[in-house]
Structure 1
Amino acid sequence: MLVSLYVKDFAIVSEVEVALGAGLTVVSGETGAGKSLLVDALLLLTGARADAGMVRHGADRAELAAEFRLAPDAPALAWLRENELDDGGDCQLRRVIRADGGSRAWINGRPATAAQLGAVGERLVEIHGQHEHQALLDRTQQLAMLDGFAAHPALLADVADSARRWQAAARTIEQLQDRGNVSDRCDWLAAQLAELDREQLAPAALEELSAAHRRHSHAAALIEGTARAQARLGGDDGVSLLSLLRQTRAELARLGEHEPRLAQVDALLDGAEIQLDEAAAELDRVRDGLDLDPERLQELDARIARLHDLARKHRVPLDALALRRDAIADELDQLQGAGETLVRLQRERDAARADWARAAQALSASRAAAAGTLARKVSALMDTLGMAGGHFAVELTALPDPAPDAHGAERAEFLVSANPGQPPRPLRKVASGGELSRISLAIEVAALGLDAVQTMVFDEVDSGIGGAVAEVVGQKLRALAASRQVLCVTHLAQVAAQGHSHLRVSKHAGDDSTRSRIDVLDAKERTEEIARMLGGIDITRETRAHARQMLATAGGKAS
Structure 2
Amino acid sequence: MLTGLSIRNIVLIEALDLAFGQGLGVLTGETGAGKSILLDSLGLVLGDRADAGLVRAGTDQASVTATFEFAELPVALRNTLAEAEIDVEPGEALIIKRRLRADGGSKAFVNDQPVGVALLRELARSLVELHGQHDDRGLVNARGHRALLDRYAGAASADVAEAWHRWRAAEAALAAARTEVQSAKDEQDLLLAHLAQLTELSPQVGEEDELAGQRAAMQKGERLSGDLAELQHLWSGSDSALASLRSAARRLDRIAGEHPLLAQALESLDRAVIEAGEAEDRIGAAAEALAHDPALLDRIETRLFELRAAARKHACAVDDLPARMLAMRAQLDAIEGGEAHIVELDRAAQDAGLDYRAKAEALSVTRAEAAVRLDKAVAAELVPLKLDSARFRTAVVRLPEDRWGSGGVDAVEFLIATNPGAEFAPLGKIASGGELSRFILALKVALAEQGGAATVIFDEIDRGVGGAVASAIGERLARLAGQGRDDGGQLLAVTHSPQVAARGNTHYLIAKASADEDGGTVTRTSVHRLDACGRQEEIARMLSGAEITPEARAQADRLLEQA
TM-score band w.r.t. shorter chain: 0.7 to 0.9
SS at match of 1:419: coil
1:253-283 Cα shifts (integer Å, max 9, x gaps): xxxxxxxxxxxxxxxxxxxxxxxxxxxxxxx
CA drift of 1:205 comes to 5.2
Aligned to 2:451: 451
CA drift of 1:499 comes to 0.8
SS at match of 1:456: strand
CA drift of 1:299 comes to 4.2
CA drift of 1:77 comes to 4.5
TM-score with structure 1 setting the length: 0.78
Give me the whole-angstrom Cα distance separating, in 1, the residues matched to 2:39 and 2:226.
96
Instruction: Note if 1:138 corresponds to 2:141.
Output: yes
CA drift of 1:320 comes to 6.7
Give me the whole-angstrom Cα distance separating, in 2, the residues matched to 1:86 and 1:123.
15
1:277-296 Cα shifts (integer Å, max 9, x gaps): xxxxxxxx999976645555
1:187-217 Cα shifts (integer Å, max 9, x gaps): 2123223444556778755555555555555
Q: How does 1:381-420 map to 2 (within 5 A)?
A: 381-400=381-400, 404-420=404-420
Give me the whole-angstrom Cα distance separating, in 2, the residues matched to 1:403 and 1:81.
30
Give me the whole-angstrom Cα distance separating, in 2, the residues matched to 1:38 and 1:456.
15
Answer yes or no: is the 8 Å Cα contact 2:184–2:332 preserved in 1.
no
Give me the whole-angstrom Cα distance separating, in 2, the residues matched to 1:289 and 1:51.
93
Q: How does 1:18-57 map to 2 (within 5 A)?
A: 18-57=18-57
Aligned to 2:342: 342
> For the pair shown, which has the larger CA radius of gyration, 1 or 2?
2
Q: How does 1:76-225 map to 2 (within 5 A)?
A: 76-77=77-78, 79-80=80-81, 83-89=85-91, 90-152=93-155, 155-174=156-175, 183-196=185-198, 214=216, 216-218=218-220
CA drift of 1:346 comes to 2.1
CA drift of 1:110 comes to 1.8
SS at match of 2:448: coil
SS at match of 1:348: helix
CA drift of 1:418 comes to 2.0
Letter aligned with residue 350 of structure 1: Q
Alignment CA distance shift 1:169-1:223 (3 Å): farther
Alignment CA distance shift 1:48-1:200 (3 Å): farther
CA drift of 1:423 comes to 4.8
Alignment CA distance shift 1:449-1:424 (3 Å): closer
SS at match of 1:506: strand
1:529 to 538, 544, 555: 538
2:560 to 538, 548, 551: 551
Give me the whole-angstrom Cα distance separating, in 2, the residues matched to 1:11 and 1:219.
98
Give me the whole-angstrom Cα distance separating, in 1, the residues matched to 2:224 and 2:553.
120
Give me the whole-angstrom Cα distance separating, in 2, the residues matched to 1:330 and 1:491.
79
Give me the whole-angstrom Cα distance separating, in 2, the residues matched to 1:39 and 1:493.
21
CA drift of 1:360 comes to 1.1
Give me the whole-angstrom Cα distance separating, in 2, the residues matched to 1:52 and 1:199.
77
TM-score with structure 2 setting the length: 0.78
Aligned to 1:231: none
Answer yes or no: is the 8 Å Cα contact 1:46–1:121 preserved in 2.
yes
Aligned to 2:490: 485
Give the CA RMSD over aligned residues. Answer: 3.4
CA drift of 1:424 comes to 3.3
Alignment CA distance shift 1:324-1:44 (3 Å): farther
Letter aligned with residue 517 of structure 1: S
Alignment CA distance shift 1:549-1:190 (3 Å): same
How many matched pairs? 495
- Structure 1 stretch displaced more, 425-434 or 197-206: 197-206
Answer yes or no: is the 8 Å Cα contact 1:87–1:108 preserved in 2.
no
Instruction: Note if 1:500 corresponds to 2:505.
Output: yes
Give me the whole-angstrom Cα distance separating, in 1, the residues matched to 2:78 and 2:436.
31
CA drift of 1:531 comes to 2.1
Give me the whole-angstrom Cα distance separating, in 2, the residues matched to 1:434 and 1:379.
17
1:358-391 Cα shifts (integer Å, max 9, x gaps): 1011101110121111111111112112212322
SS at match of 2:96: strand
SS at match of 1:127: strand
Give me the whole-angstrom Cα distance separating, in 2, the residues matched to 1:509 and 1:287.
117
Answer yes or no: is the 8 Å Cα contact 2:514–2:522 preserved in 1.
yes
Alignment CA distance shift 1:449-1:158 (3 Å): closer
SS at match of 2:35: coil
Letter aligned with residue 337 of structure 1: G
- Runs (5+) with no aligned partner, structure 2: 228-241, 243-284, 483-487
Answer yes or no: is the 8 Å Cα contact 1:462–1:490 preserved in 2.
yes
Alignment CA distance shift 1:181-1:96 (3 Å): closer
- Structure 1 stretch displaced more, 172-181 or 44-53: 172-181
Letter aligned with residue 132 of structure 2: G
CA drift of 1:25 comes to 0.9
